[in-house]
Amino acid sequence: MNAGDYITGALWNASVYNGISFLASRPFFIGVQTVVQSIANGTWQPITLDTETADPYGGHSTISNTSRYTCQVAGWYRVGGRVAFAANGTGSRGARIHINSNYIQGGAALYGAGTLMGIPEVNHILYLSVGDYIELAGGQNSGGSLSTAYVNEGASVMYAFWEHA
C-alpha cells in the first residue's frame, strides 16, 4: 500500500497465505485430545492432540508429532490449553506450555488433586518465529501413572491465536 492509495477489496486481500486472506482469517489453531493418554508419575509429557477443531494454516498434523502446533506466520500469539486428568484424590496436576520442547518461564499452572476430574489450565503470550512449535504438557504426581480424560465436557485442548506482528 502506498500513500494516497484507496483501500479496495483487492488491496484488502493482497496479503494471502496458501490462498487464505490474512486479514480475513488470521492464523489460529484449536486441537483436542479424544483418545486418553497415560501420564507417568512425576513427569511432564506432551499431550497428543488427535482432533483439530480449527487449523486454517496447516500448522498441526494428526499423523506425526501430534502434540505440536508449528508456527506458519511469525508474530505474537496467545497460546494456552488445559489438561483433563481422570479423577484421583492423591497429589497434584499440572499444565505447562513448551516452545521447541522447552518449558517457558511463567507458562505453568499447578492444581491440587480432588475427588473430581482435575483440569488445570494455562495461558501465555509468546512470540513465535516461523518453524517454532508449541506443545501443551501435562504433569501429575499421584504416585503412579494417571490417564488423561475425555468424557462429557472434560477434554484436553490446546489453542494458539495470532494477535500481532
Residue 65: phi and psi, rounded to 5, are: 50, 50
Q: Which residues of 35-61 are buried (b: 16+ CB within 10 A; e: fewer)?
A: ebbebeeeebbbbbbeebeebebebbe
For the chain, how far is it from start to end, CA to CA, in angstroms?
17
CA 33/CA 140 separation, integer angstroms:
17
Q: How far is residue 156 CA from its own chain's centroid?
A: 10
- What pLDDT band is residue 118 in, cutting at 50, 70 and 90? confident
Judged against a pLDDT cut of 70, whether residue 127 lies above it is answered with yes
Assign 79 to helix, strand or coil.
strand
Residue 130 burial (C-beta neighbours within 10 Å; 0-12, 13-18, 19+)? exposed
The C-alpha cell at 154 is: 472434560
Q: How far is CA 85 from CA 25, 112, 119, 129, 154, in A?
A: 33, 12, 6, 31, 8
Residue 27 burial (C-beta neighbours within 10 Å; 0-12, 13-18, 19+)? buried
CA 108/CA 115 separation, integer angstroms:
22
The pTM of this model reads 0.85
Q: Give the range among 18-22, 77-81, 100-104, 107-111 with minimum mean pLDDT.
A: 18-22
- What pLDDT band is residue 117 in, cutting at 50, 70 and 90? confident
Residue 138: phi and psi, rounded to 5, are: -115, 145
Mean model confidence pLDDT for the chain: 88
pLDDT tens-place string over residues 7-60: 555 545 555 555 656 566 789 999 999 999 999 999 999 999 999 999 999 999
pLDDT tens-place string over residues 72-92: 999 999 999 999 999 888 999
